């Protein structure tokens, strides 16, 4: 449910910012499979979020939801954990944290980007 909520929120932000071609990456195969269902029944887990995501995807824009390796997602995972600890709706960093910089350097050295 958390991954679906993050996807919905990210797509909503992208739409509101005027993006009309979006690639959404997730490391959650279950969320990806649920999003790609063509027929959503009210009996499906998280029907409410899936319906909201489908409604967003039916707007006049292009969305590609793809699966990425969890190992390629360490920086995003760190940011998500920081956001979960924060009680605000959003947080703006003036500069990346040391922990984030270390992860980005490690991923870059592995050519994950």
**77-108: pLDDT as tens digits:** 787 777 777 776 666 778 888 988 998 888 77
Contact 49, 59 (CB under 8 A): no
pTM over 0.75? The answer is no
Specify the pLDDT at position 113.
47
Tokens at 89, concatenated: 């709706």
User: Quick check: 34 and 44 in contact, CB under 8 A?
Assistant: yes
CB 100 within 8 Å of CB 78:
yes
Rg over CA atoms, the chain: 15
């Amino acid at each position: 449910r958390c991954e679906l909520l993050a996807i919905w929120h990210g797509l909503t932000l992208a739409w509101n910012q005027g993006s009309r071609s979006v690639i959404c990456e997730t490391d959650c195969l279950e969320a990806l499979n649920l999003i790609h269902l063509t027929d959503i029944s009210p009996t499906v887990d998280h029907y409410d979020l899936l319906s909201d995501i489908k409604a967003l995807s039916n707007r006049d824009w292009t969305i590609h939801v793809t699966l990425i390796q969890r190992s390629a997602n360490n920086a995003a995972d760190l940011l998500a954990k920081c956001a979960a600890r924060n009680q605000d709706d959003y947080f703006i960093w003036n500069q990346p944290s040391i922990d984030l910089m270390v992860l980005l350097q490690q991923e870059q050295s592995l050519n994950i980007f």
